[in-house]
Homo-oligomer: A and B are copies of this chain.
Amino acid sequence: MALEIERKFLVKNDDWRGPWAAHRIRQGYLTAGDATTVRVRIDNARAFLTVKGECGGPTRSEYEYEIPSADADEMLRLCQSPLIEKTRHDVLVDGQLWQVDEFAGANAGLVLAEAELTHPQQWLVPPSWIGLEVTQDVRYRNSYLARHPFAAWRTAAA
């Protein structure tokens, strides 16, 4: 098992843009709204099956296995809600990796930045383009966004 410790933020502007590596991600969920999620992800040419459990706070238990892309492609059709489509940019600022996700499809307009930490109390210096922290806001979880796309609630959130 890995413990995933992640903090998530809204992104205020485009100042993060640069010649960063970008991946095209398509993912879906085989579980519907449970505390445990089972995710199928195709990230560029690689594919993964990932189980995440609830631990509270920014920490979740995570079990990730690389699987054949052809399997993932078929399994994505078993997902009950629409897929999440996004482009992930690996933005490196002062040695900290920020994964900036630009969502597409029904979640277009949403941009989130995630920082993975090595322990829950790790000091994090947010760059100027980082906005409100949403780590504890379940609406910004990808598993929630798959069932309740941003387009349906963004006005209320603005």
Q: Mark A9-47, 1 if CB is under 8 A from B, else 0.
A: 000000000000000000000111010101000000000
Contact bitstring A67-78, B, C-beta under 8 A = 1, else 0:
100110011001
Is A65's CB under 8 angstroms from B63's CB? no
Q: Is the Cβ of A53 less than 8 Å from the Cβ of B65? A: no
**Which B residues lie within 8 Å of A38 (CB)?**
30-31, 38, 51
Asked whether any CB of chain B lies closer than 8 Å to the CB of A80, the reply is yes
A49, B63: Cα distance in complex, Å:
11
Contacts of A61 in B (CB 8 A): 74, 78
Please give the distance in Å from A79's CB to the nearest CB on chain B. Answer: 8
**What B residues does A74 contact at CB under 8 A?**
1, 61, 63
A53 CB, min distance to chain B CBs, angstroms: 4
Known A-B contacts A30-B38, A36-B30; the reply to A67 vs B63 at CB < 8 A is yes
| Contact residues in B for A80 (Cβ distance below 8 Å) | 34, 36
A81: min CB distance to chain B, Å: 11
Q: Which residues of B contact A63 (CB under 8 A)?
A: 49, 67, 71, 74-75
The CA-CA distance from A36 to B74 in the complex, in Å, is 13
16 contacts between A and B (CB under 8 A): A1-B70, A30-B31, A30-B34, A30-B36, A30-B38, A30-B51, A31-B32, A31-B38, A32-B34, A34-B80, A36-B80, A38-B51, A49-B49, A49-B51, A49-B65, A61-B78
